[in-house]
Structures are given as C-alpha cells and as structure tokens.
C-alpha cells in the first residue's frame, strides 16, 4: 500500500515525497481511511510509529476540500498534554500541509497569550493547544467552536495523569455534539475507556502494536551501580564509548540541574529541559540539541513524550521513572521511523522495584552489565523472569507430589554485596542453647558486642539472690 493508494490529494502527496515518506506505517494504513470517512477513532500504537501523520494527513485532506474558516473560528482542535508535544504536532501539520492553503496555530502556557489571540482573530483551520491555555482563551472570548468539525485527543492517558480531567470536562462542554472525535493513547486504562465511552460514537478501534511494548528497533541494557556513582559513571561512559548525542532522563528538576552542572564543569556541552524552565528556554535547548550545538540534553519526564529528534542514537535513564509506562515513552525517543537506537538505564539497588515494574510491563527481563571500577556495593537483586517473558520451549518445574520432600541441593555462595544464601540447605540437628547464654550474630562489631553482653550476664549471675522474707 502507498500513500497514493489512500487517495490523498496531490498537494499532500507532494509534501510526503519531499519528506521522503514512501509507504504508510501500520497505524497510518488503518487510521487514514477511517478519518477520511468521518469515523470516530480510538487508536493505540507504540511511540515512533507515525500516529501524528495518521490523523494529520486525512484531516488536512478534508479541511482543504471543505471550505474556509471564519474569524475567531476553529475547524480542527488538537489537545496535547505538554508544550513540547503541542509544538511537535503543530510542526507536523505545517510540514504535511506545506502546499495547502490552511492556517495553523499553537497555544500553550508559559509564553505571552497576545500573539496567540492575534492569530485566532483571523480564524484557524487547525489549533493545537494544551488544556489550560485553551481554557484561558475560551474565558477571554477569543475563539468559538461553532465551526468545529474534529476534536483530536493526543496522548489522552498522559493528560489524565497530569490532572487535566476537570479542564477537559470544561472544554468538552463547550464543543458541538456532532463533531468527529479521534482519541490516541499509548495505554487504555479504565479511565480512558470511560472517557472514550462518553465522547466517541461507534468508534473504530486501531491497535497497530501491543500496548506498552518497547520498539524492537531499540537495544535495551541495564548497567548496575550505586546511586552516588551514577554521575561519574555517566561521564565515564560518555568518554569511553564516544557518545556524540545523548538524551538523558533524570527523576527530578533538581537532579537535572545538578547533572548538567557536573557535565558543564567537565567541559561537556549540556543543557536542560524541565518544568521550571521558561518555555522559550526549553525550545532553545531543544533546538540547540537538534542542531548538535549541545551534545547532552538532560530532561525530566516532561520530555518523555513529544520530542521528535531525527536519528537520535541513544537515550540514557540516569534515574528510572516512577511510572513504568514512562519508560516506554522515554526510550521511544530513539529507534523511531524504523531506525535503530539504544537505551541504557543506570540502576541502583533502591530502584529494583521500579525495574521489576518496567520489566513486567514490557514482558522481558533486561540484560545487565557492570562496568569495572563502578561495581555496586549494594547489588541490585535479581528481578526474576516474568511468566510471559519466559524463553520459548523452557520446561516448567514438575509439580511436587503431596507430602514429598523437596530435594536438597547446595546453595550458591553468597555474592559480593550480601545477597543470596550462605550455606547448603541440608538438615542440621538443632543445638540446644543453655538458659542464660548470649547469642550474637556475626557481623561488624560482633566481638565487642559479645564481650559486653557476657560481662553483663556475669554480673547478673554473680549478684546474690534476695533473702526470703520470714512470716511473722
């Protein structure tokens, strides 16, 4: 199947030719005919599969053929959870619609509202907005939805995660009921299904790939170390492996700024993106990274969705995300559009539960590696193998007959770091411990502890018992 076979208008096909797009992706093959036909859509596809083109191309086709927009009007509204994603979707509409006579706008907070109002005064065929800024524009009476034909919810699950549920309800109440609604979400928890049930009419469901699956084009690796060693280990890997362009994710805004400070002190060109940064600074950092003026871009999960960096070779998780689904979105910044990529996670012992949740979600156990000189003092315990990730053909343990004793086998020696058994699991006769004896478990300070305890016992046993009181 080709884009031409999908019967898109020539100006769109010309733009696709200029961009080097040959064949539609699976999600585009399913979504484009449905959107052209005016169907409501509920679509899931892993990140990097071209879902933006899946709704942008057919909407541009229809908007071009179906008249013009009036002042203050909006014909197509796309809601996005973050400024970065809103900018990316807006750029995609402009790119695909380079040869059609339509007007586009983007609206989000953190920047002056006046330029956005000025654009809306003439009317927009496509408005891409975050929910908060859209409500600001609505309250000021600077746009109307009387001409609205289509509503697109992009990354709907993320909008609910960020607490936009009340804002979305207010927006939905202002929209005409007869519109087409397209809902795109990486995951479909119960809240999203409830939302879809309220908004969509007889929707077509599209699932181009398993939900929460990491792209097969991304090689994933875990490197274990101690938490305090992570910045130094990252610097070591950056130099030893000759990394040229790296997107790094940290858990907190403070952690992002600290890592950028360390890198800049070492003469490495680094910049940051997080929620405390003004939007112009965030856009500037991203532009410098794309232009290779910056080698390392460090970000919080505000950039886990919505960053489209062509040919990005590597994503590093300096810290694991607290929400397992965000791991899939983070590493989805690389290995996009069929290209290969690599995702490396630096994992400390206190993140083992986060790692286990990620591996359960993606149904695979990630390979591990240790770097000489950066081995963990507190080793990351094994997470085990999720049942769904077991190797094909692996034999299951035979069920033990009722009442049968398990065979006894020597246990593995204790590895460095204190995890694992210390002695064979063979039966031993229990030793009777005399009453009043002191038992001290071996460990740091065990000898001194034992001596002190023994002296205390000796004093107690040496003290004469009180005389019995005679009855008068």
Helix (H/G/I), strand (E/B), else coil: 12: helix
pLDDT number for residue 23: 85
Distance CA 400, CA 185 (A): 45
pLDDT number for residue 400: 37
Phi and psi based region of residue 20 (left: phi greater than 0; alpha: psi -120 to 50; beta: remaining):
left
Q: Tokens standing for 236? A: 């070591």
φ/ψ (deg, to 5) at 383: -90, -10
Half-sphere exposure at residue 404, Cβ-oriented, CA atoms within 13 angstroms: 8
pLDDT number for residue 311: 82
pLDDT number for residue 217: 79
- Among residues 472, 226, 203, 264, the alpha carbon closest in space to that of 352 is found at 226
Q: One digit per residue, pLDDT tens: the chain, 472 residues?
A: 788 899 999 999 999 999 888 788 888 999 999 999 999 999 886 666 688 999 999 999 999 999 889 999 999 999 998 888 899 899 999 999 999 999 999 999 988 999 999 999 999 999 999 999 999 999 999 999 999 999 999 988 878 877 788 889 899 999 998 899 999 887 777 888 888 888 899 899 887 655 555 667 789 999 999 999 999 999 999 999 999 899 999 999 999 999 999 999 999 999 998 888 887 888 889 889 988 999 999 998 876 666 777 788 999 999 999 888 889 888 888 877 667 899 999 999 999 999 999 999 888 899 999 999 999 888 888 887 544 443 333 333 333 333 443 333 333 333 333 333 333 333 334 444 444 444 443 444 444 444 444 444 444 444 444 444 444 4
Helix (H/G/I), strand (E/B), else coil: 315: strand
pLDDT number for residue 212: 56
Phi and psi based region of residue 268 (left: phi greater than 0; alpha: psi -120 to 50; beta: remaining):
beta
pLDDT number for residue 305: 67
Query: Dihedral sign, CA of 93, 94, 96, 101?
Result: positive
Q: Tokens standing for 337? A: 């559009």
Residue partners of 11: CB distance under 8 A and separation at least 6: 64, 97, 99, 100
Distance CA 183, CA 203 (A): 9
Domains for the chain: give ranges and CATH numbers: 4-207 (3.40.50.300), 218-385 (3.40.50.300)
The DSSP 8-state label assigned to residue 194 in this structure reads: H
Helix residue ranges per DSSP H, 200-252: 230-240
CB of 388 closer than 8 Å to CB of 425: no
pLDDT number for residue 46: 61
Cα dihedral 139/142/144/148 (nearest 10)? -110
Half-sphere exposure at residue 235, Cβ-oriented, CA atoms within 13 angstroms: 15
Residue partners of 452: CB distance under 8 A and separation at least 6: none
pLDDT number for residue 417: 34
Q: Tokens standing for 364? A: 């695979």
Distance CA 151, CA 128 (A): 10
User: Residues for the chain: how many in total?
Assistant: 472
């Amino acid at each position: 199947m080709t884009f031409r076979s999908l019967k898109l208008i020539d100006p769109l096909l010309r733009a696709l030719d200029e961009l080097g797009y040959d064949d539609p992706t699976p999600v585009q093959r399913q979504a484009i005919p449905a959107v052209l036909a005016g169907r409501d859509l509920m679509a899931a596809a892993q990140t990097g599969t071209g879902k933006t083109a899946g709704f942008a191309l057919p909407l541009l086709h229809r908007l071009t053929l179906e008249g013009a927009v009036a002042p203050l009007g909006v014909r197509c509204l796309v809601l996005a959870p973050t400024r970065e994603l809103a900018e990316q979707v807006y750029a995609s509409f402009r790119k695909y619609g380079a040869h059609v006579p339509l007007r586009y706008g983007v609206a989000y907070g953190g920047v002056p509202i006046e330029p956005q109002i000025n654009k809306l005064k003439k009317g927009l065929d496509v408005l891409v907005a975050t929910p908060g800024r859209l409500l600001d524009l609505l309250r000021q009476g600077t746009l109307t939805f009387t001409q609205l034909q289509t509503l697109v919810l992009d990354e709907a699950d993320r909008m609910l995660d960020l607490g936009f549920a009340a804002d979305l309800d207010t927006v939905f109440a202002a929209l005409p009921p007869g519109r087409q609604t397209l809902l795109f979400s990486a995951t479909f928890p119960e809240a999203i299904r409830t939302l879809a049930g309220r908004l969509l009419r007889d929707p077509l469901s599209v699932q181009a790939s398993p939900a929460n699956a990491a792209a097969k084009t991304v090689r994933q690796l875990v490197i274990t170390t101690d938490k305090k060693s992570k910045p130094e280990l990252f610097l070591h890997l950056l130099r030893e492996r000759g990394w040229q362009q790296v997107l790094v994710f940290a858990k907190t805004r403070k952690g992002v700024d600290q890592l950028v400070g360390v890198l800049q002190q070492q003469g490495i060109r680094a910049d940051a993106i997080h929620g405390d940064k003004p939007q112009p600074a965030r856009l500037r950092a991203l532009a410098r990274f794309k232009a290779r003026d910056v080698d390392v871009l460090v970000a919080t999960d505000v950039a886990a969705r919505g960053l489209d960096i062509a040919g990005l070779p590597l994503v590093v998780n300096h810290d694991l995300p607290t929400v397992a689904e965000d791991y899939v979105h983070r590493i989805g910044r690389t290995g996009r559009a069929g290209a290969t990529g690599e995702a490396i996670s630096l994992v400390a012992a206190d993140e083992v539960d986060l790692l286990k949740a990620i591996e359960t979600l993606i149904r695979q156990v990630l390979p591990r590696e240790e770097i000489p000189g950066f081995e963990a003092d507190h080793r990351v315990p094994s997470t085990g193998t999720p049942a769904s990730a077991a190797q094909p053909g692996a034999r299951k343990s035979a069920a033990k007959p009722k009442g049968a004793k398990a065979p006894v086998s020597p246990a593995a020696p204790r590895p460095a770091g204190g995890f694992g058994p210390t002695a064979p699991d063979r039966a031993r006769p229990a030793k009777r411990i005399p009453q009043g004896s002191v038992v001290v478990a071996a460990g740091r300070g065990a000898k001194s502890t034992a001596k002190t305890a023994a002296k205390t016992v000796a004093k107690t046993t040496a003290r004469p018992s009180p005389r019995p009181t005679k009855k008068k």
